[in-house]
Amino acid sequence: MPIGSSSCAMDALSRRGKGLMLDWRFLLREIWQGRKQAMIFIFCVALSLATMVALNGFRRDIDRGITGDARALHGGDIILHSHYELSPGLRQAVERVQRQGRVAQAADTWSFYSLIRSVNDQDTLFANLKVATVGYPLYGRVELQSGRRLDQALQPGDVVVAADVLHRMRLQIGDRLHIGEATLRIADVVTYESARPVDLFSFGPRVFVAAADLEAIDLIRKGSRVSYETVLKVSREGEVEELAAVLKDAAVAGQERVETYRTAGSRIKRFFDNLLFFLSLISLFTLLLAGIGMQSSLTALLREKEMTLAIVKSLGATRGFLYRHYLVLALVLGMVGSAAGSTAGLLLEGYLPRLFAGLLPPGSRIEISLLDLLEGMGLGLAVVLFFTFLPLSRLNRVKPAVIFKREVSDGSRRAAYYLTRAAGLVFLTVLVVLQLRDLEIGLWFVGGSLALILVMSLLARAVLQFARRWTPHPLALRLAVRSLVRPGNATRAIVVTLSSALAILLAIFLLERNLRQTFIDSYPAEAPNLFSLDIQKDQRDGFRQLVGEDVQMFPVIRARLVSINGKAVQREKEDVPRGDSLTREFNLTYRDDLLPDEELLAGRALFRTGENGRIGLQVSVLDTVAEMGDMEIGDVLRFSIQGVPLEAEVTSIRTRTRSKLYPFFYFVFPPAFLEKAPQTYFAALHRPRDEIPALESRIVTAYPNVSIINMAASAAELGGLMQKLSGIIRFFAGFSLLAGALILVSSILATRLARVREAVYYKVLGARSSFVLAVFVHENLLLGLASAIFAVVLAQVLNWAVCRFVLEIAVRPDWLATLTAATVTVALVVLLGVLSSALLLRQKPADFLREQSGE
């Protein structure tokens, strides 16, 4: 034991007798002598805060610059939405409140997709058309390259386009475009649109068309896929909810949606909320692992001080004296770590726009505020108090007898230990719930994280139990195994942290690879790669002649599911972030037989034939929607087709045997009952990629109202987005691996004295430095192997479960990537362990023995 530390402790005790509560000389001496563990503790605190501070500040920046102004996102106070023209009742209600002066302004829009063509028909582009009346948007802005307002530039005969239209079609302002049956002039270019701050969820760039040209383009036909929207600006803010309720009473239930800017869903807001929420989960997981690092490093620091603690206790130091000084020591280190972590978080926040490049609008600004720094400091101190409470509670277990007995202090656990654990768990849960702002998911996260750590801990414990009984033949390996189970070694913490972090990273990577291989890289060679929508009934034969007889054509009738066995389908909120919904509008179809990739799960045939040979009103449902609505054979489903009710009995349940890239329908009816219903046709065909542009041009020239989706191009865009998102997620998940590395270094430093003693004894007995190095290499190799194996097993289980039960796609284990990740992990653990132990190899036996005898 260092002489200076004990003399300093005695000085501290004498000053305590003089009424001094704290002895800073004693604290500084303790920090200096344990400076390596103190640095690791500081790094762990900083690591636990960096990503969380960055994400919290970035979330505020997103709210402030992109999603925070709900009125600007939706363009009005009240939003009326439908896939059909507004019903007479709702339209009359709007006109009535306008006459009453309760609505100051209104604007109508029609949104749909269509192919636009250059005048020479050489270039075509699938675009997102928005037809708008004068005054749109009522809130927010559409910024143009010329600096004019939208209603100034958008005159009859003109269009305003996104810059991507000019780039991809090699056009410029003043050139003309074929849109439907009309030829319109490009009058200006959109540089920013508050309702569409980022272009993530659109198949094509924006094109604004004046409402006066709606009839001329002639693109809206019976059954066309159009989003009709009317936005209202109320005269008095306090009447928003009241007016919305009045209009909702006039709307057609299930067909027309009336919402306010507060309740309306936004795909952009939902996207960023979900992404930042998921990244927050990862940062909390990093905090948890870094917290284990804090506990490990502080425990190691206190273990190094056991001799000092024993001497101080033998000189009369009370438990309060020790708690007070070492708590202040932890808080001082915690404040330094919190300041470092908050600063690192602010720097990371400044880097996030580059990391999110392509997902944020150009010119996005990051504002770093004092609030972010103060919030990070406060969170850091709270985290330090939580994760250091247990190590400090063990101070009382150090006995003065340690001075004379070269043994570890009492390791028994009393009731206070378990009470402390329980209180800590409650504190952690509150912290997580506050951070995620969701009680249910917060509880699931805490439970899942604890379950993960518990499983890994039990596996690590089983391995250590085996290691205690294992006696391998090579001497270096046998000594390495004994080193793993030496008292004070943080083997279990290292394995738990490294394996948990690596498992999460590897699982994310495997899921991204599975999604990419299913929908992008493994796009079936024979699968349709060109879909055509909104083909009118009288265009069916001509369309088939134009594209070829091999085209698959399906009738489409749009309807809503009203009830199941008389029980109304509950209208869920539109901003539910996950999964499909029974409340949305479905595409019904009719036919007599199964598709080549379908088979029956229930029912003897697609439809049941009566005794007279006639087929009654029946419906066959896909297993996916059957699970959503808990549907069974014999259930009665009630649909609404543009207000016309239709009831049918479920007589079969189908499943699919091929990729979802092939056409499929949830509900299939017998032809006799839907042939005369309002309908359009959906066509699917496969063509070589180099033939698609010319075919698109021929289709849109002959049938301007038909919308065409190039699935090959869409798959490529989706792949780019998936790659970008997975890169962001891996970046944040990588911080959790640093926690494992810090614990590894901490463990080596914590057992430094024992390792030096072993190295010296090996050398005294004739071993060379190469043998000592081999022992250290074997020890870290075993650590890395255990961590990698546990991580691989857990990652593959997670990959299988999510692919099988959530995504419902084929599971590909990707053993090559898995083996590569495991090998790299083992190599890094060995390298880091050997580098941390390098100084121990330089210890000369004579110097060490002289120091030990001098104590």
pLDDT digits (tens, 9 = 90+) for 196-209: 877 666 678 999 99
Whether 704 shows a pLDDT value over 60: the answer reads yes
Whether 775 shows a pLDDT value over 70: the answer reads yes
β-strands 124-132, 103-118: how paired?
Answer: antiparallel
Both tokens of 333, joined, read 């280190």
Whether 668 shows a pLDDT value over 80: the answer reads yes
Both tokens of 543, joined, read 């369309």
Both tokens of 627, joined, read 């699970």
Which pLDDT score is estimated for 274?
78
pTM of the prediction? 0.71
Both tokens of 278, joined, read 């998921």
Residue 598's H or E segment, with its range, is strand 598-602
The amino acid at residue 1 is: M
Quick one: what percent of the chain has pLDDT higher than 90? Answer: 25
Assign 838 a pLDDT band (cuts: 50, 70, 90): low
Both tokens of 510, joined, read 């495997």
Which pLDDT score is estimated for 689?
83
Better-scored residue on pLDDT, 587 or 350: 587
Which pLDDT score is estimated for 147?
93
Mapped onto helix, strand or coil, the DSSP state of residue 362 is coil
List pLDDT tens digits, range 215-243. 999 999 887 889 999 999 999 988 999 99
Whether 113 shows a pLDDT value over 60: the answer reads yes
Q: Compute the distance between CA of residue 388 and CA of residue 270 in angstroms, rounded to an integer.
A: 37
Mean pLDDT of the chain, nearest integer: 82
**Comparing 21-25, 451-455, 586-590, 655-659, which segment has the lowest mean pLDDT?**
21-25
Which pLDDT score is estimated for 176?
95
Q: Compute the distance between CA of residue 467 and CA of residue 455 in angstroms, rounded to an integer.
A: 18
Average pLDDT over residues 745-772: 72
Q: Compute the distance between CA of residue 389 and CA of residue 409 in angstroms, rounded to an integer.
A: 18
Whether 327 shows a pLDDT value over 60: the answer reads yes
Q: Compute the distance between CA of residue 600 and CA of residue 606 in angstroms, rounded to an integer.
A: 8
CB count in 10 Å sphere of residue 27 = 17
Whether 654 shows a pLDDT value over 60: the answer reads yes
How many CA atoms, within 13 angstroms, populate the side-chain half-sphere of residue 311? 16
Better-scored residue on pLDDT, 421 or 225: 225
Quick one: what percent of the chain has pLDDT higher than 70? Answer: 85
**pLDDT winner (highest mean) among 520-529, 620-629, 715-724, 808-817:** 620-629
Q: Which of 141, 171, 512 is nearest to 361 (CA)?
A: 141
Q: Which of 288, 286, 798 is nearest to 506 (CA)?
A: 798
Query: Under a CB-based contact definition with an 8 Å cutoff, are residues 767 and 817 in contact?
Result: no
For 466-480, letters b (16+ CB in 10 Å) and e give ebeeeeeeeebbebb
Assign 68 a pLDDT band (cuts: 50, 70, 90): low
List pLDDT tens digits, range 8-25. 555 555 555 444 466 777
Q: Compute the distance between CA of residue 701 and CA of residue 717 in angstroms, rounded to an integer.
A: 26
List pLDDT tens digits, range 126-172. 899 999 999 999 998 899 999 999 999 999 999 999 999 999 899 99
Whether 489 shows a pLDDT value over 80: the answer reads no
Task: Tell me the three-class secondary structure of 629-683, residue by residue.
Answer: HCCCCCCEEEEEECCEEEEEEEEEEEEECCCCCCCCCCEEECHHHHCCCCCEEEE
Average pLDDT over residues 436-465: 84
The amino acid at residue 32 is: W
Which pLDDT score is estimated for 540?
92
List pLDDT tens digits, range 426-440. 877 887 887 777 788
Which pLDDT score is estimated for 415?
66
List pLDDT tens digits, range 509-556. 888 788 777 766 656 667 788 899 889 999 999 999 999 888 989 999
Residue 383's H or E segment, with its range, is helix 370-393
Which pLDDT score is estimated for 132?
95
Q: What is the dihedral of CA 371, 372, 375, 379, to 10 degrees?
A: 180
List pLDDT tens digits, range 263-314. 877 777 778 877 888 888 788 878 877 887 787 778 777 777 777 777 777 7
Mapped onto helix, strand or coil, the DSSP state of residue 832 is helix
For the chain, the C-alpha Rg in angstroms (whole number) is 34
Which pLDDT score is estimated for 38?
84
Which pLDDT score is estimated for 577?
41
List pLDDT tens digits, range 378-408. 878 888 887 777 777 777 666 665 555 555 4
Most distant CA pair in the chain, distance: 108
Q: Compute the distance between CA of residue 620 and CA of residue 667 in angstroms, rounded to an integer.
A: 6
Query: Under a CB-based contact definition with an 8 Å cutoff, are residues 161 and 208 in contact?
Result: yes
